Chain A
Amino acid sequence: MRISVEEVFETVKMTLDHHFDIRTVTVGINLKDCMDRNLSGLGGRIEKRIIEKGKLLNKFADIIEQKYGIPITNRRIAVTPASLLLEPLPKKISTAVGLAKILDRAAKKADIDFIGGFGAMVQKGMTAAEENLLNAIPDALSKTERVCGFLNLASTIAGMNMDAVAKFGHILKKLAAKTPNGIGCAKIAVFANVPEDNPFMAGANHGIGEPDYSLNIGISGPGVVRDVVLQNPDCDLTQLSEVIKKTVFKITRAGELIGREMAELMGIDFGIVDISLASTTSAGDSVAEIIEAMGVKQIGLPGSTAALALLMDAVKKGGAMASGNIGGLSGTFIPVSEDAGMIRAVKSGSLNLEKLEALTSVCSVGMDMFAVPGDTPAEVLSAIIADELSIGVINNKTTGVRVIPVPGKKQGDIVHFGGLLGSAPIMKVAKSASPKLIARGGRIPSPIQALRN
């Protein structure tokens, strides 16, 4: 049956009025076979591979964009966790920073804006190479433009590496001090239960269970869903869940089609469709505004968590019906600085850090892109991270933290990061929290939920 005018119009209107796009196409690249005892040997091989695939990615994304008339907004690369590549190399900070610079240069030459994977899996313990990578993070991320980092600090199976959590508080402070407005901290996310195939920055990496290459795709953002909620102002919540589900089905199918075709053109495996709704700084492209369109006066007020839980569930149901390859994070992002509705809510006092944490218990992906005063002690940053990651550990889900302690700024100040990263009001946070708890170190054992065999 030929497509009807109504159906065509629905799709065209999504693109014209509601930011319908393919949010990200990310190519995962295995670099394990490039390892060497010599950094320049490693560098030569990985640079060649990244540039080649990056150029292909841009070329085919342009072709597909033209063919389907749907913008492909971000084209990115995720690589094997850098800590693995550092294993055979000298345990010097300069070596890890050198690797970051090689990744940065390759991304630039391939015209890729962000390359993910400068990170490590340290949920249970750290090898010498991993500890070296952690120590190198402040220099590596402040001396490069396009490199993004991740650390998996906890998992349901392993528990939480509190030595690494404690250390990371200090790393964040150092990284913030080295970059204007602490912006370097926007390029690293820490996780519990990090997925190996997440296409979104800053946490993207090409995990050890992945094939040589894989193409992962992120679907369109919140603008389309917000519109459909606004079109249904009076229906009850059961019906609302249904209309959200149907819309997400459609946008996921578009992602699936384009992902498969991109993978075929590039001659690589199709990986996953990540059905996360990712906000942008564009007007209307806000998850907070979906919650508000559902009937909550402002995100952060009572009712927000229930509304977000309904949204998240409807998104998953629609997405799972649309694609057999759902993966990655597949939650809903609520980054503070990148979502106009979240920024408003923090400014007006409806949303505080505690409620932000509560919201993340029903949605992925954690407390994202929020700013705190620059003089927040490292132990407080570590304690915020430990709290958030505990939610992930206990609930068998991914949670993450991307926090920016902005040097010289106080609660209520606004920091403009610019571009995709938006601007953030500095949130209120305790001046001292759990110094003794964090100083204890060790590992919070894996929870009883881990014993499922």
Chain B
Amino acid sequence: MAKKKKEKRNQICIVTVTGIDKVGIIAKLSAAMAKANINILDVNQKIMADYFVMTMAVDVAKASVGIDKILKQLDKIAKELSLNITFQDENIFKAMHRV
């Protein structure tokens, strides 16, 4: 059973970057997050099956803009750096990967 949504102070989302590693990925993402008042909680990266994968856990509870604006900004960065960037609520991963 999925957990019932609790009213929490944190609303954690996961930014996932896949593609080819290059200079400035974290710098650009951090700048975008700071501008939207989004706190970065954790950053991880790995090479898996020829993919460069970086995940960034962020807290959007105090974000100054809506998800649609964040997504637009991330799309822009993805295009500039020829990467794939997704932005998803952490609960989807918890539901799928935790019993």
Which residues of A pack against B, CB within 8 Å?
Answer: 1-13, 15-16, 66-70, 250-251, 253-254, 256-257, 260-261, 264, 323-324
B-side contacts of A323, CB under 8 Å: 1
Could you name 17 residue pairs across A and B whose Cβ atoms are closer than 8 Å?
Answer: A1-B98, A3-B57, A5-B53, A5-B54, A6-B48, A9-B18, A11-B93, A12-B18, A16-B18, A69-B87, A69-B89, A69-B92, A251-B96, A253-B2, A254-B92, A254-B96, A323-B1
Q: Tell me, in angstroms, the Cα distance from A1 to B95 when the chains sit together.
A: 13
List residues of B (68-84) whose CB comes within 8 Å of A's CBs. Answer: 68, 71, 84
Q: Are B84 and A16 in contact (CB under 8 A)?
A: yes
Q: Tell me, in angstroms, the Cα distance from A15 to B86 when the chains sit together.
A: 10
Min distance, Cβ B92 to any Cβ of chain A, angstroms: 4
Q: Which of A5, A15, A250 has the most CB of B within 10 A?
A: A5
Min distance, Cβ A217 to any Cβ of chain B, angstroms: 12
B-side contacts of A251, CB under 8 Å: 96
Taking a contact as CB atoms closer than 8 A, the residue among A7, A264, A324 that contacts B93 in the complex is A7
* Chain B residue nearest to A9 in the complex (CB): B53
Given contacts A254-B92, A323-B1, contact A3 B48 (CB under 8 A): no
Q: Are A69 and B93 in contact (CB under 8 A)?
A: no
Q: Are B95 and A253 in contact (CB under 8 A)?
A: yes
Among B20-28, B29-37, B38-46, the one that faces the other chain is B38-46
Q: Are A67 and B95 in contact (CB under 8 A)?
A: no
Q: Tell me, in angstroms, the Cα distance from A16 to B87 when the chains sit together.
A: 13
Q: Are A67 and B48 in contact (CB under 8 A)?
A: no
A-side contacts of B1, CB under 8 Å: 256, 323-324
Q: Tell me, in angstroms, the Cα distance from A237 to B90 when the chains sit together.
A: 34
B88 at the interface (CB under 8 A from A): yes
Q: Are A264 and B5 in contact (CB under 8 A)?
A: yes
Taking a contact as CB atoms closer than 8 A, the residue among A8, A254, A257, A324 that contacts B16 in the complex is A8
A-side contacts of B42, CB under 8 Å: 2
Min distance, Cβ B38 to any Cβ of chain A, angstroms: 15
Taking a contact as CB atoms closer than 8 A, the residue among B2, B16, B68 that contacts A66 in the complex is B68
B65 at the interface (CB under 8 A from A): no
Min distance, Cβ A102 to any Cβ of chain B, angstroms: 35
B9 at the interface (CB under 8 A from A): no
A-side contacts of B55, CB under 8 Å: 3, 5, 8-9
Q: Are B51 and A9 in contact (CB under 8 A)?
A: yes
A-side contacts of B97, CB under 8 Å: 3, 7, 10-11, 250
* Chain A residue nearest to B51 in the complex (CB): A9
B-side contacts of A256, CB under 8 Å: 1-2, 95
* Chain B residue nearest to A251 in the complex (CB): B96
Min distance, Cβ A57 to any Cβ of chain B, angstroms: 19
* Chain B residue nearest to A247 in the complex (CB): B96
Known contacts A11-B88, A68-B92, A69-B86; 12 additional CB pairs below 8 A are: A1-B98, A3-B94, A8-B53, A8-B93, A9-B18, A9-B55, A11-B96, A12-B16, A12-B18, A66-B68, A257-B92, A324-B1
Q: Which of A4, A12, A15 has the most CB of B within 10 A?
A: A12
B-side contacts of A8, CB under 8 Å: 14, 16, 53, 55, 93
Q: Tell me, in angstroms, the Cα distance from A161 to B44 when the chains sit together.
A: 62
B-side contacts of A11, CB under 8 Å: 88, 92-93, 96-97
Taking a contact as CB atoms closer than 8 A, the residue among A10, A66, A250, A257 that contacts B91 in the complex is A257
